[in-house]
Structure 1
Amino acid sequence: GANTPRADASGMSAGALRRVATRFEESGAAVTWELAYGCFRRPARAGVFVTGTDTGVGKTLVSACLVRRWQALYWKPLQSGLADEEGDTPTVSRLAGGESTQGQGVRCFPPAGAYQASLSPEAAARAEGVTIDSALLALPMEAPQQPLVVEGAGGLMVPVTDEIMMVDLAQRWGLPVVLVARSGLGTLNHTLLSLEALRARGIAVAGVVLNGPPNPENSRTIAGKGKVRILAEIPHEAELDAPTVERLAALLPPWSEIAGA
């Protein structure tokens, strides 16, 4: 079979290649080949998009751990449910900004849309009589070499507008995805379907973070059948505070491994 050409080799023209193929066929040999093409796009800035297989799988905790581990910036583009909770931006700021950051704190960009109802962004905005303007959902470009952790709302197929889902925003932004999934029963179907949806759109996957009690069998199955790296397995914690997040953050790989993947 073919191999790496010599350093001094020069490529054939299309005409020369046809003549060589014809000579092969005339001598009774057979020539087969496969063609592949791809479109590769460098992200507009350093960072990842954190999404989940469902609501409540631990995206905000993982986002806080990533911010802490990488000393990253943070952006929650769309926030709903503010009638019931403080919101993910102050939560990440509080959890990731421990004392050992030498007082630097966490730089969080404000959401492009924040709504009261615990609904999808589209439904929560509609309940307040507004429509989400997708033009406002542009990646913050401040400090583009510093990692930015972008946390999505719900899972990939959560509606943002009548025409846009969260997965469409992930594709638009072009950041590699960190997929957060439960570790226990039911995670295989949800996780493998989410990976399939991402790859069908050509979205790069940085890896999966499993959240909950250790489950080696599920971890192996997701890594093998999903052809994906398990970035970390985050155990259940009874209490979440800045020291806990600092400890959990050490389970995640350094930014250099994600940036170089």
Structure 2
Amino acid sequence: MKTYFISGIGTDIGKSYVTALLIKALEQAGVTASSFKLVQTGASSQAISPDIHLHRTISGQSLDELDADAVGESFSFPASPHLAAALENTIIDTNKLWHAWQTYVQKRQRDIIFCEGAGGIFVPLTSQTLTIDWIIQHPMPLILICNAMLGSIHHSIATLEALAARSYLPFLIIYNPYPNDEPIITDDSAHFLKQYCQTHFPNTYFFHLDDLHDITALLRNNE
């Protein structure tokens, strides 16, 4: 069994959409796959995480009883996890997140399971712990999602440099061509970031989301 952590360069990057497509592509290639949401915010009173529901819907998987446990913590207010928790008069127990993740992995038993974070890689889980801190404490290969928004080049490079400073570079970067408001920006950003990563971060793979076949092969064969 292989596990990967999926995060992004910010919020509304398309992490959940990309995660769902990865699951679908892996299943079509004969690899069993599933997902877990580390912290869900903006969840209202739904029994199943909205992002998990999206994963299952897009990937074509049916919801089952284990999906109610496919989230570490869930809060109603759509904000950073530390704030969403505070508004419910609680503090996220990061050890509890790890236990929930491990329990789900053992119960789900798939070839590949993705753990999707909330927002960007430096989003705070508590006043003392950022998402990257949690990942470093519980290492797994990091998949970083970037996209085509205006400013993506800056946000992507800033994120990579900050991760390099913590000696935890992504295993894989996936470029999501969203929102494709200006195709010339979408195409140029993809080209620039790929070239930049090849030069400055040669040990990190960079793929466009259109390259799902190559991405799934990489995920399957990674040791």
CA distance in 2, matches of 1:50, 1:144: 19
By how many angstroms is 1:106 displaced?
11
Consecutive unaligned residues of structure 2, counting only runs of 5 or more, are 27-31
Provide the secondary structure at the position in 2 that maps to 1:49. Answer: strand
Q: Where do 1:244-259 residues align within 5 Å?
A: 250-251=212-213, 253-257=215-219, 259=221
Structure 1 stretch displaced more, 141-150 or 66-75 = 141-150
Q: Which residue of 2 aligns with 1:217?
A: 188
By how many angstroms is 1:204 displaced?
4.2
Q: Which residue of 1 aligns with 2:207?
A: 231
Q: Which residue of 2 aligns with 1:52?
A: 8
1:191 paired to 2:156: yes
Letter in 1 for 2:15: K
CA distance in 2, matches of 1:48, 1:127: 30
CA distance in 2, matches of 1:250, 1:106: 29
CA distance in 2, matches of 1:56, 1:194: 15
TM-score by length of 2: 0.77
Provide the secondary structure at the position in 1 that maps to 2:171. Answer: strand
Consecutive unaligned residues of structure 1, counting only runs of 5 or more, are 1-44, 235-248
Judged with a 3 Å threshold, the aligned counterparts in structure 2 of structure 1 residues 156 and 257 are, in CA distance, closer, same or farther, namely closer
Q: Which residue of 2 aligns with 1:168?
A: 133
Provide the secondary structure at the position in 1 that maps to 2:154. Answer: helix
CA distance in 2, matches of 1:114, 1:129: 13
By how many angstroms is 1:220 displaced?
2.3
Provide the secondary structure at the position in 2 that maps to 1:83. Answer: coil
Judged with a 3 Å threshold, the aligned counterparts in structure 2 of structure 1 residues 256 and 222 are, in CA distance, closer, same or farther, namely closer
Q: Which residue of 1 aligns with 2:58?
A: 95
Provide the secondary structure at the position in 1 that maps to 2:157. Answer: helix
Letter in 2 for 1:233: L
Q: For 1:2-46, what per-residue CA distance to the aligned partner results, in whole angstroms no more than 9, with x for missing partners? A: xxxxxxxxxxxxxxxxxxxxxxxxxxxxxxxxxxxxxxxxxxx61
Aligned residues: 199
Q: What is the RMSD of the two structures over their aligned residues, measured on CA atoms?
A: 2.8
Letter in 2 for 1:69: A
Judged with a 3 Å threshold, the aligned counterparts in structure 2 of structure 1 residues 107 and 209 are, in CA distance, closer, same or farther, namely farther
- Larger Rg over CA atoms: 1
State, as a whole percentage, how many aligned pairs show the same letter: 22
By how many angstroms is 1:152 displaced?
0.5
Q: For 1:161-183, what per-residue CA distance to the aligned partner results, in whole angstroms no more than 9, with x for missing partners? A: 11100111222221111111122
Q: Which residue of 1 aligns with 2:41?
A: 80
Q: Would you identify which runs of 4 or more consecutive aligned residues in structure 1 move more than 6 Å?
A: 103-107
TM-score by length of 1: 0.67
Judged with a 3 Å threshold, the aligned counterparts in structure 2 of structure 1 residues 222 and 107 are, in CA distance, closer, same or farther, namely farther
Structure 1 stretch displaced more, 207-216 or 119-128 = 207-216
